[in-house]
Structure 1
Amino acid sequence: MTKPLAIPYLRFSSGKQAQGNSYERQHQMIAAWLQLHPDFLLATMRFEDLGISGWNGEHLDYGFGKLIAAIREGYIPAGSVVLVEAIDRIGRLQPIEMIRHLSNILSNGVNIITLDDGIEYTKDSVNGQHLFLLAAKVQQANLFSENLSRRATASWDAKRKQADRGEPVKRRLPIWINPDNTLNQDIAPIVVEIFELYASGFGTRRIQHRIKQRCQEKGISIKISNAGIQHWVSMKLAIGYWNDSPNVHPAVISEELWWRVQKERERRSKGKKLSAPTKHPLAGLVVCGVCGCTYRVKAETGKSKVMHCSRRDELDNRNCSNKKAIPVAVLETVRMMTGLEYIEKAILSTQPSVNTTRLAEIDQKLSALHSQLKSLADTIVSVGALPEIVAKASELKNERESLELEQTILLQQTDTTDIRSIVKAEATLLLDDPLRLNALLQKVGYKISVFPDARITVDDQSFRYAGYERKTDRFKLIDLMVEVGQLIYINKNEREKEARLKAVASTTKDPSPLLVLMKRKNAYISKAENL
Structure 2
Amino acid sequence: MSDKTPVAIYARVSTEEQATEGYSIQGQIEEMETYAEQRGMEVVRRYLDEGVSGKNISGRPQMKQLLKDLGSGDFQAVIVYKIDRISRKSKDALEIAERFDQANVKLISLKEDMDITTPMGKMMFQMASNFSEYERNSTIERLKMGMSQRAKQGYYNGGLVYGYDSVNKELVINKKEAHVIQLIFDYVEEDFGYKAIVSRINSMGFKTKRGNDFAIHTIKTILDNPLYIGKIRFNMYENWSEKHRKGKNENYILVDGKHQSIISNEQWERVQKIRKKRSHKPSRSQSPYLLSGLVRCPQCGHGMVPGRSNGGNGKKYRYYVCGFHHNKGKTACRANSIRAERVEESVFEELKRIVAEPYVLKNIVQSVNDKRMNAKDPIDEQIRIHESKLKKIEGRIDNTTTQLMDDPTLAAIFKPKLQEMMEEKVSLEQKIEELNVELSECDTAPIDEDALYHLLSNLETILSKSDITQQKALLHLIIKDIQITKDAPRRIGRRVENINLHFDFTIEGLEHQTMDLLNTMNNMDFIKPIESWELESMEGVSRSELMDSLNILPLNEVRFPPNNPKRPIHLLQQHQSHELVGQCHLREGQGIIGPLHHFITQPK
TM-score greater than 0.5 by the shorter chain: no
Query: TM range, normalised to the smaller chain?
Result: 0.3 to 0.5
Normalized against structure 2, the TM-score is what? Answer: 0.34
Larger radius of gyration: 1
